[in-house]
Every structure is written in C-alpha cells, then in structure tokens.
Amino acid sequence: MKQLDYADEKISTREFILGITSIILGIGVLSLPRNLAQLTNSSDGWISILIGGTFCAAIAWVMAKTASKFPKQTFYEYTSSVLTKPVSILISFTYIAYFICIAAISTRVISGISKVYMLERTPIEVISLFFLLVVIYAVSGSRIALFRLNLMFIPIIIFIVVVIQVFNIKLFDMTNIRPMFITNWSNILSGGKESIFAFLGFEIVLFYTILMKKPKSAAKAAVVGVTIPMVVYIVIYLFAIGVFSNIVTQNIVYPTIEMAKEVEIPGQFFERFESIFFTIWIMTIFNTTAMALDVSVYGLTSIFPKLHKKKLVFALAPIIYLISMMPQDFTAITSFSQSTSYVGVGLFSIPFLIIIVSKIKGVKGK
Amino acid sequence: MNKWISYPLICIFLLILAGCWDRVEIEERGFVIAVGLDKAENGEGFELTQQIVVPGKFGPDSASGGSGDAYLNITRQGETMFEIIREVAAETSRSPFYEHFKLVIISSELAEEENNLPHILDHFIRYHEMRRATKVMIAKGSAKEILEVEPKNERLPAIYIDSISVNNFKNSRMVPVSRIGDLHEQLLNENSYTIQKVEKGEETVKVVGNAVIEGKTNSLIGFLEAEGTEGMNFLTGEIQGGIIKTKYKGQDIVYDMKTTNHKVKTIIDNQNNVTIEVKIQSEGSIGEALLPLNFEDPKVIESIEQQIEQEIKDKVMNTFEKVQEEFKVDIFGFGNYLEQQHYQKWQEIKKDWEQGENYFSQSTLKPKVNIRIRRSENILKSYK
Amino acid sequence: MFSSLKKFLKKKKKKNNSQNNKVEHSNQEDFNIELSKNLSEDLLNIEEMLDKPDDLIIRKFSIGETNQACAVVCIDGLVDSESVTKKIIETIQHAKLDKNEKSVDVKKFKEDLTAHILSSQSVNWASTLDDVSLGIHSGDTALYVDGLEEVLIIGTRKWEERGVEEPVTEAVIRGPRDGFTENIRTNTAHVRRRLRDPNLRYETFKVGRRSKNTLILSYIDGIVNPKIVEEAKRRIKSIDVDDVPETGIVEQLIEDSYLSPFPQMHSTERPDKVSAALLEGRVAIFLDGTPFVLLAPATFGQFFQSPEDYYQRFPIQTFVRLLRYVAAFIAVFLPALYIALLSYHPGMIPSKLAFSIAGTREGVPFPAFVEAFLMESMMELLREAGIRLPKPIGQTIGIVGGLIIGEAAVSAGIVSPIMVIIVASTAVASFILPSYGMTLTLRMLKFGSMFAAAMFGLFGIILVYIMINIHITNLKSIGVPYSAPFGPFFKKDWKDMVFKLPESALKDRPKMTKPQDTNRIGKGAKK
C-alpha cells in the first residue's frame, strides 16, 4: 500500500536533539574515564569534559547555523554553491569516509567487547556480521524511523546509566573525589582534547538540518544534543573516580563497564549487572553505527540522486565490515580510531570555511 | 538479485546452526566458589585449592544423589594461578567457571613473602569472569584446612565463610570485608592496608582481626587482634554497630551503638609534625545494665556517657600507639586525608610518611568522642 | 532480504489480478442484461441465470381483479414468507384500482404501487438482471410487473441469526456486555445507539466480486482527519477479490505492510470500543456476516488498552496497563532469557539458585534451548487443541496437558522443573493482553527470540529486541506511525497510552491520528 503524504516525514526538534545524542553516545564513554584519569589528577577530569563538551557544543552550534542558512539545500548542494563543485565533492567524500570509519570502529569495538564479556569463543567476524545485518535492516528502512528509534532507545539508555550510578552510591568514596582543582592547565586541556574525541559524530547536523520541520531551531537543538552526553559523561566520570579512585581508573581498560560490574542488586534478584548494562549499551552503539551509516548513505544519495538508497546500503555495508575487520589488535583499533578522530577534528574547519567564503562571495541560501 | 542474496544467507544460517560456540550448559560448568592458597611443599610456587560445587547435591531430591559433600576440593601446585586452574580443567569433567567466585584465602605463610600478594591477586583482578567484589582473607595457618571446615548450617564452606565475613554490623571487632577491587586500589597506590583474618576454630572458623600488610613490599607484617581491630574501626569510621562495655560504680554497663559518625581533620606544622584529630560521634542505647540506675536523671546519663567516651578514647589510643610502635605503617588511611586537606604539603612528605623519616609514627592523635544515649531500651529498671 | 521477498510476492499478486480481471469481464457480459417488458421472458432469464434452484420461489398472480400479470421472485429462507404473502401478494391482489377496469395502465400502476399500495419501508426500482439477482440474494423480494421495464425490489429480509451475546474474546468484569452479531444492521444500530451524534457517518460499499458483501465505513465527521477517511476509502475501493467473508481479510487487503507479523488494525466485537475509537478520530469498518469490526488506524499501544480501563478506578488501571507491557515483554523474552542465562550467562543467576538449577538439570539430556523449544511447542499444541475441541473437553486438555504431561516430563527427566515454571508463566503472560491478534504475534516472536538466544545468548536477544523496534518504527497503519506515541513523541497521548490518567485529565483526543476537533472535554467539565 502506498505511504500517505500526510504522515510526518520531517524530523521534529526533539528527534533531532536525540539523534545527535545517540550518535555521540557510544564507544567513547566506555574508555573515556581511563584516558582522562591518565591525564589528570584526582577528579579533575570533569573540567576537561566540560571544556571539550562546551567546545563541541560551540562547533555544533556553528555547524547548525551554517546548515540552517540553506534550509532547502542538502550539504552537497550548499557546499557546491559556496565552494564550487569539485571542492564540495571532495569534502562530501571526506565526510562520507569519516562516517564510514566511525561505523566500522563502532562495529569492531562492540564486537570486541562482546567477545570479552559475553561470547568468549564466538568468532569476532560472526558477531560483527550479525550486528551489521541489524544495522542494515535499520538503515534500509525509512530515515525518520531511524530517528524515532533513537527516541525510543535513549530513555532506556539514560535509565540504565542512572541505575548504575544509583547502585554505586554505596561504593562511592568522597575521599577519592577530593582534592579538586590540582591538575595543571596543560593537562586539563589535553584531557579536553581527549574528551572531544568522545563527542565526535555531532557533525551530522550539517547533513540532517534540511530534514527538520523547523530548521531555525537547529542551532539550539545541536547545543542541547551535545549537552546531554556531556552531562552523562561528567556523571559517569565522577562516579568512576569516586568508586575506583583515580589510580585504579587509569588501569582499567573499560572503567564504565567495570563500574557496572561493581553493582550489586539488593535482594540478589540477579547478579552480574554488567551483562545487563552491556546488553543495553549495544543499543547505544547500534544507534551510533546506524546513524553513521545512514548519514553516509544520505551524503552519497545527495551527490548521486539516481542511486537507490537500499542498493547503497547493501554496497556500503560490506565496506564497513571489511574496514572493521582490518585492525588486528587492541592497539591497532585505538590508533585507527585516533586517526579517524583527528580527521573529524580537522573537519571542524569546514563550516567556518563555508561561512567565510559565502560572506566573501555573497552567496545566500534560498 | 534474489539469488545473490539468498545463497550467502543460506550459508550464514548453516554456519550458525553448526555454531553456538559459547554454549555451555549450566550443569556442565564447574562452579568454583573459593580458592585457598598455600605455599607449595617443595617451596617453589603455590599450592592452589579450588572449591568446586557439586550441584547434584543441591537438587530437590538430593536423596538420590546419596550422602556426601556438596563440594569438591581440588588441590594442585604450580607457578601461576591461571596455569594451575587450566591444569585442573584438563582433569575434571566440568570446566572451571569463575562467575560465582566468592573468596580468595591466602595463607599467612605465603603472604609474609615479599610481593607474593600482588602476584597471586593479579589473575583474580584481571580475568573477566572475576568480580571486583570477590573477598580476600588471610588465613592464620593453612588456607586449605579452612576450606575443609564442615559447617553445620550451610552446605558449602565458602558460602559459610562468606556469610560470616559480612556480619560486621553486629560486631565492632569484625573487620570490614576486603574486596579485591579495593585491594587493587591499595596495590596501585602502594598504601599499607589490612585484610580480614580468618582462623580455624575447633569446628568452625572465626573471622576476627586484621592482617596488616605493608604497602611498599606488599608483605604481611603482623596481625592486629580483636582489641586492636575495634580501635581501628573507630579510627577508619568503618564501624557500623556493636557494643561498648564500661564500668559504672563498679558494675558493668553495655552500650549498644546504633549510629556512628566519623570525621578526620589533619594539621601539619612547619616541622612536618602531623596532628590528626578524629571526631567520633555515636548514638545508641543501653543494652544491659547490671545495676539499677535512674535513667530519667540527665546527670546519670551524662556521667555514663562520659564513661563510655573515655572507654572509646582509650581503645583508640591503644590501637594507634600499638600500630605506630609495632608496625610503623599507616593502615588507617590518614595519608589520604592529608592528601585531600594539604595537597601541596603532602606531595613533599609523601615519601617520608611511612618510610624514611616515618612521619606517621611521629604523628599525634587527638580523638574527640561524643556519645549520646538516646534510650534505655524497653525498661528503666529491671530490679530494685 | 525482505525487499526481494516483497517484490516476489507483489509480482505474483499482479499476475493473479490481471487473470481475474479477464474472467470478471466475461461474467459481467453474461449477466448485465437489461430487463425487458415481457414478464415471462424476464422470469425465464432469471431462472436460467440461477439454473432453476429449489429455493427460488416464483409466484405469478394478477393485480386486483384484472388480468394484468405480475410475479414475485424471492429466495426461500432469506425472506420473511409471511410478509411476502401478506404484505405483497395479498395487498396487490386486493388492490383497489381507480376504475374497476379489466386492464391496468402500467405507467400509472407503477406510481401507485409505491405511493398507495405497498406498505413496505424499503422499495427500490432495479433495471438490470444483475441488480435483481443482488436484491433477491440479499433477502429482498423482486416484484415483476408485465409491461414494466423495471423491477421493484422490496425489503423482506429475514433469516435465522444469533442473538446479541457477550463477546467471548473480549470479556470484561465491568462494562456493557452486548457484543456485535453477524448482522451488519444490528451492528451499526449498536453504535448509533451509543453515539447519537448527527455527524456519525456510515458509508456503504459492496465488496467481493462474487459475494457482493456489504461493507460500511464509519467515522464521525468533524473529528476524524479527512485524509484518513480518503485513504481508507481508496483502499476499500481497491479490494477486488471473489469473497470477503471476514474483516480479517479486509484487514489483509488494505493494511500497509502485509509482511509484518503485527496486526495493523484493531478488530473488536465490542460496540463500546467502536464508539470510543470513533470519538478518538479513528474509522471503523463493519462487514456483513461477521461480528468483528475493524478499527483503524491502530498503533502498538492500542492493543494494550481494554475498555475496562476506563470503567474502573484509574490508579489500578494504570498499574494494569504497565503490567500488560511487562507481560508482553515476558511473553516474548522469558524463554529466550532462560536459554541465554542457562547456556551462556549462568553468572547472572544468584549463586545459590544457579547451583540448585544446575542440580535439577543434572539428569536432563538436552541443552536448554532444545528443552525450551520442546516445551514451548508442546504448549502451542495444547493451545491449538484447546481451541478445536468442544468446550468441556477443551478444559480437560488444559489439565491433562499442563499438569500431567508437565509433571510426567519432569519426573521422566526430559525437562527440568524450572522449565515448566517458565513455560507456564510465559503462557499466562501472553493471555494478559486484551487483543488476541497481538497475543498471536507475540507467540510467534517468542520463537524468534528463543532462536537468537540459542545462538548468541543475551547478545542475540538484544539484536532481536532492536529488530522488533526497527520494524515497529517503520510500520504504519493507514499512514499513522505504528510506534506513536513513543516513536513520534506525543506527550499528551502518554496520558492514555502508557498510563491511564483520570477521565478529567484526558482533555484531548489522541494527537497521533491528528483529529480535526482535539478537545474531548468541555470547559465546564474541567472542575
């Protein structure tokens, strides 16, 4: 049966906010406390998160402002109208490759962690494959459905984060948090850089603003969308330090999961809470991966309008699978995701470039 | 198009049906609930005793399983933990499974040697099946013997010991449990710390007292027995309840602590003399009085309160002085308070806190105790 | 994978359609005959068309005392023979014509017939044989008059039917106990009796190429979003099959996604449910011959509502609502969780329980998932058997199956006692849902999640959960997102979807159907 034209196919502001939150929350937070604890003393890492988060929120604001200047044009269209076509194609492809890498890294990391915590002997290839199949199923559906999926998963994810913190209050030791403000600024700033990596992914605002019901509210929404994960990160970080102390956090590979491991459900209804946490966290990483794949598909369809969306999904998925299988060990994954993150940070300059050039050329959005 | 998709799919499904790599049925697993570590007989390496549950004895009709123990102790020797555990796996029909692991018991003989503790604990902290809530105890004597105790009301010795160890809210002399996760923190900080001590009685085991571990070498340097433990609990604020016995007019009165509160303030002067002020506040009731007293008279209450305060002060001072003289290590964690309250100064004296100058043993303790008796329980007097 | 399957099915459908269309054309050429003036020719035609069946009654007689021939044609069993005899034949035979003439002015008689002579409330002129056939098959009587080109179809329907009974599938403790019957008129009357709104609309369609069944689309003008009505009409008009015996078939023919396991329209036997749905801005589809009425658009949450929620006290019913969501989760995932926990993550079970489960499973030869599949299939067998068997035996089967087989299986060591508990609680949970259609869906999904759990443990379960969510968010019911009000988030709709707030708090109609008139409660009623 034909879909109806009166059904909503535009993204509401709320869906936009949670879409940004969903793509940001993912693998970053699992190891973020460790990376920050290594750089900062005591509990000071939260300042780094605050700085990194605020910086990212500012960038997101600029990006959304840029995109909402061209409310009826796709990213490819407005960049080509401002920066000429070849440059635009280059930038678009860099973004597409970047998001494909994000999807690949998420797939790989989630499979790796699943293997460690849940499926010890199952080959990593099989875990990734099935995870990707579900991602493909999601992306080959309608785009608005993907945003609604975020809407349905985020409350569960926030809930599980809160549950972990609540059950960890018993183990929370204030002596681990104090003294505060003892790290020097250069370390705090390099911690800030580290936490920016955990915020990457919000660049989707450049692509999705066109789909919004009210593109004007995009900038505000982008800031809120970055702030939610920032709050989650700060809470998780402070609890990790409070529960483990700084030095232990430095030496645990995934402190966030390990924190779930500490949870003891009163009444011993069930044990091993980390399995539950981790299972739910798969939803988060699924959201990240699906959004990243979808945005690259969207980028490609805007360059080649004739290509069929489903065919593109089926074409991109094997690429993601192969990329995700490339790194051989833990360090290789880390360095791969590091270099991807640097590309992402480098791409922060694009909206500024667009704004400056459009000011010079005097290009205006339609 | 259809064929291109369906063939790989069929392959995948066939693969999966042959797969299920990780499926191990619950009855095929050997639940290890505790390990005991002793020195190997030949002096090299460790002797590891694993306590494995025999679930057949747990079923509803355990009669069919016949009589016998619900557990199995397997003892093997080796150089590293993982090696020994895997060696046992090759010998039993059930692969060892550590997700219900509760307890590590280490014999004092092993713990006395330098750096044995971190070597032993590494695997139990590292391996993903382990929990950070696993408890660690030091056995006075052989760890294996403790795992062989035959409890009357529990089927598994490990569960029995595990349950005893958390009863500290009723006993002020019981040490708080030493979770392996906390030990990880102490090991990384090179702090000195204490571990619950477990001792074999005639038919039971006792979990009373502390084993004192020196932070630099991670070796056992002595035991803090029941009396000292009580004082220590007051100093670390770990006390959750318990009783204080005191004399009033020559007769015994027992004070039952309901709530306790604890605050530490540290002062460092220029000569690096450290003064530690510990404020202990407690509220409670009279649990037993061997003489008829008028509990409606505030003066009586006040003088009893003072009596109890003095009692606690004595205990605390005794413990502190004993630790300062005998062990010379900061097992109370006052170093952490110094770090919090005087971060810069602490960075200077950190190295000489327990070693070198040993500021710890020169420091002075000023306990301030405040007791409030809220009630005399159900009666005022039991006799005239 | 799905898309290719869809394409395949669509191709088949198209083929079928084109073939059937040809057949239909030839049929219509046969019967679309204009009626003639000649009575005997017409009667012959109709006899020929129906091949002279036994139940076809043709009674010839004369008008008044003239020789003007006429005849009534009807089908025995569908008509009220007393009214045919008394109200038609007798009145016409005794009709007093203006002048006592021997011949009748046919033109004038035609006017007199409806104006003065016949007292029946429903009369229609038909001009083709096809219309006549439809009329007499509907239980009406055709009156042929020699010399007239048209035939009068007089309403004389009466046949044996079931009385109004309490709906079996949707019983309530408190609330009206009348249910729909197989008669569409009774059903529409039920709704009219509850909604005396002049804007209540009934639009009639004939569906089924051969069965020519009556379908009524009902909505309240001014509340319902006109686009929903338009779309529903378009879809109903596109129905082109031989027979539409039940609304279930209507649903399958007009729903958005025929591959989905989820019911995309709500079927009910309860008039109060229909009137409530109409007031919420939905449309209702009645079909003659079935007591089940379709309500559309339907969303996922709607299947968790029972009319009783509104009749009982609200805090209790809010609790019951939440209970239903939990029950749905249990019905789908409990056996899967059992498999996952036992075969993959025994660490999650509390230690002592884990040991005792391991103890009870000591003698069980099968892995947990074989055990679970075995017992769940057994449960499905028993359920299906329980439906087929006559009522008294059906209950026995429940006892024999549930208790005796379960007990025997445990003592024979085929399954563990815990498994029996799991199977029983799953079955109980799946019956908590007020909608039988949703229960069936959940039963099917249960096996999917068990399979995933058997492969990947909890990882498999969460993948299945994600997939179900993806499917639901992509699904639409007449254009309304199936996952509303969760997916597209409508805060106001949560008041009556997730919770059940007091009646006075439910000021607005559900936003998800985008009604024209949003206010349910007048300003005076607020306090």
pLDDT at B60: 55
Query: What's A13-344's CATH class?
Result: mainly alpha
Q: Residue A267: what pLDDT? A: 66
Check CB contact of B68 with chain C, cutoff 8 Å. Answer: no
**Cβ contact B59–C4 (<8 Å):** no
Q: Residue B106 — pLDDT band, cuts 50, 70, 90?
A: very high
Cα dist from C426 to B382, C251, C380, C413, C442, whole Å? 58, 28, 11, 21, 10
Cα–Cα–Cα angle for B296, B302, B305, rounded to 5 degrees = 115
Q: Looking at B163, B196, B224, which one is the last position of a domain?
A: B224
Residue B237 domain flag: yes
Quick one: pLDDT at residue A365?
58
Q: Which residues of A touch C350 (CB under 8 A)?
A: 268-271
Q: How far is B208 from chain A (nearest CA, A)?
A: 23
Q: Are the beta carbons of C481 and A8 separated by less than 8 Å?
A: yes
Three-state secondary structure call for residue C292: coil
My answer on whether B211 and B245 are in the same domain is no
pLDDT band at C16 (very low <50, low <70, confident <90, very high): very low
**Closest chain C C-alpha to B99 CA, distance in angstroms:** 5
* Nearest chain B Cα distance for residue C411, angstroms: 11
Which chain A residues are within 8 Å of C227, Cβ to Cβ?
4, 6
pLDDT tens, position by position, A144-178: 899 999 999 999 999 999 999 998 898 888 888 88
The amino acid at residue B190 is E
Q: Residues B301, B248: one domain?
A: yes
Q: Measure CA A300 to chain center.
A: 20
- In the predicted model, is pLDDT for residue B151 greater than 90? no
Joined together, the tokens standing for residue A295 give 């945005």
Cβ contacts (< 8 Å) between C3 and chain A: which residues? 140, 310
- Name beta bridge partners: C226: none
Q: What residue spans define the domains of chain A?
A: 13-344
pLDDT in tens, A206-234: 999 988 888 889 999 999 999 999 999 99
* Boundary-marking domain end, from B195, B224, B253: B224
Question: The domain containing residue B272 runs over which residues?
Answer: 228-375
Confidence of residue C65 (pLDDT cuts 50, 70, 90): confident
Contact assignment for B19 to C344 by CB distance below 8 Å:
no
User: Would you say residue B17 lies in a domain?
Assistant: no
Is residue B20 situated within a structural domain? no
In-domain check, residue B383: no
- At residue A131, the pLDDT reads 93
Would you state the pLDDT for residue C27? 45
Hey, what are B159's tokens?
């569960």
Specify whether B157 is located in the same domain as B299: no
In this complex, which of A118, A175, A179 lies closest to B343 when CB atoms are compared?
A179
pLDDT band, residue C24 (cuts 50/70/90) = very low
pLDDT above 60 for C3: no
- pLDDT of A88 reads 92
Q: Say yes or no to pLDDT of C203 above 70.
A: yes
What is the reported pLDDT for A260? 87
Distance CA(A102)–CA(A333), nearest Å, equals: 12
Do residue B337 and residue B310 come from a single domain? Answer: yes
Query: Given a cut of 60, is residue C29 above it in pLDDT?
Result: no
Q: Is residue B7 part of a domain?
A: no
Percent of chain A with pLDDT strictly greater than 90: 52
Tell me the chain C residues in contact with residue A283 when contact means C-beta distances shorter than 8 Å. 462, 465-466
Q: Which residue has the tokens 């003289």?
A: B325
Query: Is any Cβ of chain C less than 8 angstroms from the Cβ of A131?
Result: yes
A neighbour chains, 3+ CB pairs within 8 Å: B, C
> Do B212 and B130 lie in a common domain?
yes
* Residue B382 placed within a domain: no
Q: Helix, strand, or coil here: B299?
A: helix
How far apart CA A216 and CA A352 sit, in angstroms, is: 19
Q: What is the pLDDT of residue C30?
A: 52
- For A318-356, what is each residue's pLDDT tens digit? 999 999 998 888 889 989 999 999 999 999 999 999 989
pLDDT at A93: 94
Does residue C20 register a pLDDT over 70?
A: no
Residue B197, in any domain of the structure = yes
In chain A, where does DSSP find H-type helix?
Answer: 13-24, 28-39, 45-69, 75-83, 85-117, 124-139, 143-168, 174-177, 185-199, 205-208, 218-244, 246-250, 255-262, 273-303, 309-325, 330-346, 349-361
Contact A3 C476 (CB under 8 A): yes
Residues on B contacting A at a C-beta cutoff of 8 Å: 12, 15-16, 19, 21-22, 99, 128, 131-133, 181, 184-185, 188-189, 333, 336-337, 339-341, 343
Is the pLDDT reported for residue A313 higher than 80? yes
What type of residue is A123?
P
Q: What is the mean pLDDT of residues C115-144?
A: 86
Report whether the peptide linkage leading into residue A86 is cis, meaning its omega lies within 30 degrees of zero. no
Residue where a domain stops, chosen among B224, B254, B289? B224
Examine the pLDDT at B146 and tell me if it is beyond 50: yes
pLDDT (tens digit per residue) in A29-58: 888 999 999 999 888 899 999 999 999 999
> Would you state the pLDDT for residue C15?
47
Residue from the list B132, B189, B343 with its beta carbon closest to the beta carbon of A247 = B189
Residue of chain C whose alpha carbon sits nearest to that of A1: C256
Mean pLDDT of the residues in chain A: 89
Q: Is A213 helix (H, G, I), strand (E, B) or coil?
A: coil
Q: What is chain C's mean pLDDT, rounded?
A: 84
DSSP string over C485-514: TTTTT-TGGGGGTTS---GGG--B--GGG-
The beta strand positions in chain B, using DSSP E, are 29-39, 46-53, 71-78, 95-97, 103-107, 135-139, 193-200, 205-206, 210-214, 219-224, 242-248, 251-268, 274-289, 364-375
Res. B58 pLDDT band, cuts 50 70 90: low
Mean pLDDT of C107-132: 83
Q: Taking 50 as the threshold, does the pLDDT of residue A1 lie above it?
A: no
Could you give the number of structural domains in chain B? 2
Name chain C's partners: 3 or more CB pairs within 8 A: A, B
Of B21, B181, B188, the CB nearest to A122: B21
Q: How would residue C66 be classed by pLDDT, with cut points 50, 70 and 90? A: confident
The predicted structure's pLDDT at residue B13:
64
Query: A178: which chain B residues are within 8 Å (Cβ-Cβ)?
Result: 340
A275 near C CB under 8 A: yes
Could you read off the pLDDT of C304-356 as tens digits, one per residue?
A: 988 888 898 889 999 999 999 999 999 999 999 999 999 888 888 888 888 88
Question: For chain C, what percent of residues have pLDDT higher than 70?
Answer: 91
Q: Are residues B351 and B252 in the same domain?
A: yes
pLDDT, tens digit (0-9, with 9 covering 90-100), for B253-310: 888 888 888 888 888 887 778 888 999 888 888 888 888 877 788 888 888 888 889 9
Given a cut of 60, is residue B2 above it in pLDDT?
no
The two counts, helices (H) then strands (E), for chain B are 13, 14
Q: Name the residue among A126, A182, A264 with its Cβ closest to that of B133.
A: A264
- Residue A223 is predicted with a pLDDT of 95
- The reply to whether residue B22 touches residue A121, judged by beta carbons under 8 angstroms, is yes
Q: Could you tell me if B204 and B334 lie in one domain?
A: no
- Chain C residues with CB under 8 Å of A1 CB are 235, 254-257
Q: Higher pLDDT residue, C400 or A152?
A: A152
Task: Check whether residue B198 and residue B281 sit in a common domain.
Answer: no
Pair (B189, B242) in one structural domain: no
Which range (A351-360, C161-170, C222-231, C447-456) has the least confidence? Answer: C161-170
C107-119 average pLDDT score: 82
Q: Is residue B207 part of a domain?
A: yes
Residues B298 and B150 in one domain: no
Give chains near B: 3+ CB pairs under 8 A.
A, C
Same domain, residue pair B140 and B218: yes
Q: Are residues B35 and B124 in the same domain?
A: yes
Tell me the pLDDT band of C278, cut-offs 50, 70 and 90: very high
Please answer yes or no on whether C347 and B19 come within 8 Å at the CB atom: no
Q: Show residues of chain B in contact with C417, CB under 8 Å.
A: 60
